Amino acid sequence: MSGGFLRLGGWALLLALAGCAPPPVITPNPQPGMAEPPKAFALPEKSATFSNTDAIQRFEAEVPKQYLIGAGDKLTITVAGRPELSGQQTVGPDGNITLPFAGAIQILNLDRTQAAARIKQALSTFYLDVYITVRIDEYTSNRIVVLGRVEHPGVISFENEPSLIEVLSRAGGFPILRPEQVLTRCAVMRGQQILWLDLKRLLNGDLALNIRLKRNDIIYIPDAYDTSVYVLGEVTRPGVYRLTPKMSFLDALGQAGGPTIRANPDAIRVIRLSQGLSQEVVLDQVLALDRSLNVALEEGDIVYVPMSGVAKVGYLLSQINPFALLLSLQTLSSNVSD
């Protein structure tokens, strides 16, 4: 009978350990004509996340020093001694206003002084020594478009060229009301140019990032859940986590609370399904300052922490029905005695 117990114990141990084998390494299988995916994960390069200082300064330099008249603005034009020429005008979509005798006058993207000189030039053919002033009554063309995770996305009008903080304040970016509204970065789109700014630095007092914005700039605040990574298996808080700029393996594991006591820290896997990659990471080696293992994560990456072999055996034994086990032992004992 003792031999039966040994055989039963041996089979139980083999079955338990069979479930502990690490998942096979996923190797890339590119289609013909496609580029080879990277052979290994890259190290985090936090400095490459945001636009550099030169790009920020170029954006800042493009902002005009004075307000420029745009389509939809309402102006009051006063021609001294000529009430028939004076009055309120609305700048058309083509940038023109219309005055008696002079007809259409193009004043788009001119400041007040330049607009007065342009109108005087147009009227000089018909009048001598005219004195003209231009006052802006409604600033309707100075629009900034705000998209993404703010309370009030849409078009916001300003009387001057606003700063980034002014735009975020008007759009309801402060205070943060929902977890997915964590402000970490934003994009400023101007024509074909895109500027990525670190909002954490800005809100911590780096006013060099509080750039002034131009008319028709687009501000995009990405949803924190637009880019996610997954930490699964034997961790304290498995689930979906927001991918911060150039998040590393340790960053994700730390947010998930680290491995549990049942985890196997020697066989953690970082899986990149989009490229068919899987890399095994030994936690002790990472903590021993081997930076080559603290890989940078990308959107959709999976960090999987398996259960240790001892924990699996204990779990399997805890799930065995004691009555079924007793019946099996009795059957095995009778067979051995026979």
Q: What percent of the chain has pLDDT over 70?
A: 69
What CATH fold (topology level) applies to the domain 51-63+142-221?
A: Outer membrane lipoprotein wza fold like (3.10.560)
Handedness of CA 48, 52, 55, 56 (dihedral sign): positive
Question: In terms of pLDDT, which residue wins out, 300 or 219?
Answer: 219
Residue type at 268 in one-letter notation: I
Confidence of residue 211 (pLDDT cuts 50, 70, 90): very high
Q: Let me know: does 63 contact 213? Beta carbons within 8 Å.
A: yes
Chain segment 138-164, per-residue pLDDT in tens: 888 888 999 877 788 888 888 888 899
Specify the pLDDT at position 294.
75
Q: Let me know: does 214 contact 161? Beta carbons within 8 Å.
A: yes
- Flag whether pLDDT at 134 surpasses 90: yes
CA distance 98 to 100: 7
Specify the pLDDT at position 338.
53
Which CATH homologous superfamily contains domain 74-138? wza like domain (3.30.1950.10)
Chain segment 272-307, per-residue pLDDT in tens: 876 777 888 888 888 876 666 677 787 778 889 988
CA distance 167 to 20: 54
- Flag whether pLDDT at 89 surpasses 70: yes
> In the chain, what are the helix, strand and coil shares in percent, each to the nearest 5?
30, 25, 45
Q: What are the distances in angstroms from CA 35 to CA 12, 27, 276?
A: 46, 14, 13
* Beta-carbon count within 10 A of 322 CB: 7
Confidence of residue 31 (pLDDT cuts 50, 70, 90): very low
Radius of gyration from C-alpha coordinates of the chain: 34
Chain segment 169-199, per-residue pLDDT in tens: 888 765 454 444 456 778 898 887 888 888 8
Mean predicted lDDT score pLDDT of the chain: 76
Q: Is 74-138 in the same CATH topology as 51-63+142-221?
A: no
* Greatest extent of the chain over all pairs of C-alpha atoms, in Å: 130
Domain residue extents for the chain: 21-43+227-307, 51-63+142-221, 74-138
Q: Under CATH, which architecture does the 21-43+227-307 domain have? A: Roll (3.10)
